[in-house]
Amino acid sequence: MALALPFVVEGALRWWRPTPCPSAATSELMACLHTYSEVYGWELRPGIALPIPAGRITIDGRGRRAGARREGAGPRLVSLGDSVAFGLDVDDGATLAAQLRLLEPGLDVVDLSVPGYGTDQERIKLEREGLAVAPKVVLVHFCLANDFADNALPVFLYDGVHPKPYFRVEEGTLVRHAEHLRLAGAARAALWFSEHSVLFNLVSPGRAGRVLAAQAGGEESVHWQTRYNEVMARPEPLVDLAARLIESMADFAAGAGARLLLVVHPTRHSFAEGSPLEAQLRARLAAKGVPWVDLAARYRARGLALADLATDGLGHLNSRGHRAAAEAVRDALSETGVLSVSPSPPRSAE
């Protein structure tokens, strides 16, 4: 009977809290959405629905954000990005991917965005899942707020403990490193219980993070801004690494008969002051012929201020921002000839 007690308690708690997540509060939302992956470090938890102030975040059985795809539609577009493209602050139907499909009903939009991902994880996602759906277009969302740093780190930028794959340039070649994703037994068990048990999260809040921190050398105590500043202190390798990752993704897409389009999301600071690293990356990719969507420039051309489109300085978008970004992407698809679509009216995002 004593052995059965935890299962009875767990079952009873599920009536009170349907998911094992501590809560769906903004500060814990990404932990609720994520599940451990030996390939990506983490991926979206299949089959969950979380209420948020703007509506709902729904993840389908394949581990993708609901609201964008319409089976049997026309040319397929794969969208890869982090929390900005995913839309942590908006309802399923208001994300950039969902809005793009509404703007251009002929598109079959497959949203593979995952909060917290860097370009490195997106590259692996494209290889393993994106190309398998035979896209005509691959959208890669690059966030100036953190992607340069994300790509250089072996762990999640904002907690310093969850492992992720990363690439290094070795003898002029991108080399993937993923050995550290094979977790020790204690870390794997703690993660499993944190992802599946309401009781575990009530009795031992933060236990999984502490176990992972011990395996990673205790980095949990370091504030993410410190980690970010240390990585960004040497920007030149970061630009080269980002460029190589994006160039390789463009090559993968071309090899599968698709075109890649890079969508650059500004921060509050870069929108106002510009970004030297963005300029360097743009020059590097222009030499390789990678099409570039400068969202900051397109917002300004429509008389839109980022403060009206974003919820924070990092550039996370509200519903109006997702709509404006989707219109900018549709315009770029038309201008570059990647797809035959109609440009949006001049000021329809306002």
State the SS3 of 1-34: CCCCHHHHHHHHHHHHCCCCCCCCCHHHHHHHHE
Residue 323 lies in a domain: yes
Beta strands 41-44 and 34-37, pairing class: antiparallel
pLDDT tens-digit readout, 27-66: 466 678 888 999 999 999 999 888 889 999 999 999 999 9
Q: Residue count of the chain, please give it.
A: 350
Cβ–Cβ < 8 Å for 59, 65: yes
Residue 193 lies in a domain: no
State the residue for tokens 């949990």: 220
pLDDT tens-digit readout, 288-344: 999 999 999 999 999 999 999 999 999 999 999 999 999 999 999 999 877 765 555
What pLDDT score does 13 carry? Answer: 44
Between these two residues, 165 and 209, which has the higher pLDDT value? 165
Domain interval for residue 230: 55-186+225-336
Q: How many CB atoms lie within 10 A of CB 51?
A: 9
Where residue 307 sits, what CATH number does that domain have? 3.40.50.1110
pLDDT at residue 23 tops 50: no
Residue 167 lies in a domain: yes
State the residue for tokens 């769906």: 24
Q: In the numeric block, which tokens belong to residue 210?
A: 């502490």
Residue 314 lies in a domain: yes
pLDDT at residue 199 tops 70: no
- Name the DSSP letter for residue 81: -
pLDDT at residue 144 tops 70: yes
Name the domain count of the chain: 1
Answer yes or no: pTM beyond 0.85.
yes
Residue 78 lies in a domain: yes
Residue 25 lies in a domain: no
| DSSP letters spanning 108-167 | EEEE---TT--HHHHHHHIIIIIGGG--SEEEEEEETTTHHHHTT-SB-TTTS-SB--EE
pLDDT at residue 21 tops 80: no
